[in-house]
């Protein structure tokens, strides 16, 4: 049974109880998703209400299996998993040649199944409820106390907003990994991967008026573990062992790659320590057709609803992530 508060002892000897951040982690488990999920599971300041699964880094079947296997490995099978949609609207929005290039890109980065590290086969099954319905149900049951943390394509989140207009008033906000406001993309010159997978959904979410903290490539690409940074995780917790194996495998399979960017972990970190990031308010829209397909366009607006991460204390962020993973 998961306790929803943590106890903290003050210097004077008195005890206070800190309420946990209730989150739904909407994810397409690939390599860096593993780090983010383990962080959320390990932090004593987060209560993971469930994982909702979307396609993106791999097929929906593979991302679902990866989530279930990770929970089995971490001995956290009580955390429920809800399957959503496969996302890749780019199959109908781009040419066959462009889509083949996209699939080659994600296989190179994440492998055929989405991961460069083996996980045990899971004996648990996802819940029958659709991910979108679970998001709505949890938001209604935890009004004002639930944050959505999507670290993959935004298909499930957009569908939930469409299906339940009250969702915007029920949740605390959204912390999402995606976009590239003032820097180039990583799938095309213009587009970041998660946004590229479903730009229509991304545009709907980012223009919804919901309070959003956007952790895009502006801050995530430059926060990384280097090939030689072998001492970044020094402990022997289950999570640290898996991540060391993952990093070793990634660097062996991708010999030209010398850095592993902490995209998704930064987004979980933004829930816990938003003060590590410099935020600027923007209106954000997404290009849904043409040569700039998937580009996030940011217009500065002090009254906007999207807080864009524009700078981060990279070394302190890496330290905080490693400390959480070591617990």
Half-sphere exposure (Cβ direction) of 286: Cα atoms closer than 13 Å: 28
Question: Which residue blocks in the chain are alpha helix, DSSP H?
Answer: 31-42, 60-73, 90-93, 96-110, 131-141, 155-163, 167-170, 193-197, 199-206, 217-220, 238-253, 263-272, 314-325
Query: What is the C-alpha separation between 157 and 210, in angstroms, rounded?
Result: 11
3-state secondary structure of 259: strand
Element (H, E) at 230: none
d(CA 184, CA 222): 12
CA–CA dist 140, 145 (Å, integer): 10
Rounded-to-integer distance, Cα 282 and Cα 293, Å: 20
**Neighbouring C-beta atoms of residue 144, cutoff 10 Å:** 9
Q: Annotated catalytic, 256? A: no
The two structure tokens encoding residue 35: 């780090």
CB atoms under 10 Å from CB of 321, counted, come to: 25
Q: What is the distance between the alpha carbons of residues 27 and 23, in angstroms, rounded to a whole number?
A: 12
User: What is the three-class DSSP state of 9?
Assistant: strand
Ordered strands of the 296-300 beta sheet: 81-83, 46-53, 21-27, 146-150, 173-177, 212-215, 306-312, 277-286, 296-300
Contact call for residues 157 and 27 (beta carbons, < 8 A):
no
As a whole number of Å, the end-to-end CA separation of the chain is 18
| 114 dihedral zone (left: phi>0; alpha: psi -120 to 50; beta) | left
Give me the catalytic one of 26, 28, 33, 218.
28
Question: Which residues participate in catalysis according to the annotation?
Answer: 28
């Amino acid at each position: 049974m998961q306790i929803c508060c943590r106890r903290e002892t003050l210097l004077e000897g008195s005890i206070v109880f800190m309420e946990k951040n209730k989150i739904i982690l909407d994810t397409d488990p690939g390599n860096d998703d593993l780090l983010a999920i383990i962080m959320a599971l390990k932090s004593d300041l987060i209560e993971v209400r469930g994982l909702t699964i979307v396609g993106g880094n791999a097929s929906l079947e593979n991302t679902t299996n990866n989530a279930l296997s990770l929970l089995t490995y971490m001995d956290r099978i009580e955390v429920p998993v809800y399957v959503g949609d496969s996302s890749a609207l780019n199959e109908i929005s781009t040419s066959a040649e462009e889509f083949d290039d996209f699939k080659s890109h994600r296989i190179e980065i994440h492998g055929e199944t989405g991961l460069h590290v083996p996980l045990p086969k899971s004996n648990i099954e996802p819940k029958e409820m659709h991910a979108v319905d679970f998001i709505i149900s949890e938001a209604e049951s935890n009004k004002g106390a639930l944050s959505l943390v999507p670290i993959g394509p935004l298909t499930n989140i957009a569908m939930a907003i469409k299906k339940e207009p009250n969702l915007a008033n029920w949740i605390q906000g959204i912390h999402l990994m995606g976009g590239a406001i003032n820097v180039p993309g990583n799938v095309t010159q213009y587009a970041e991967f998660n946004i590229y997978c479903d730009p229509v959904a991304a545009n709907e979410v980012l223009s919804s008026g919901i309070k959003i903290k956007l952790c895009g490539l502006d801050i995530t690409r430059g926060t990384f573990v280097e090939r030689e940074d072998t001492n970044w995780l020094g402990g022997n917790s289950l999570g640290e062992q898996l991540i060391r194996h993952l990093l070793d495998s990634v660097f062996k399979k991708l010999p030209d790659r010398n850095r592993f960017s902490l995209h998704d972990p930064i987004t979980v970190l933004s829930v816990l320590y938003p003060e590590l990031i410099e935020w600027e308010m923007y209106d954000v829209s997404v290009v849904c057709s043409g040569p700039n397909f998937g580009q996030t366009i940011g217009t500065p607006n002090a009254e906007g609803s999207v807080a864009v991460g524009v700078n981060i204390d990279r070394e302190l962020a890496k330290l905080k992530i490693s400390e959480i993973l070591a617990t």
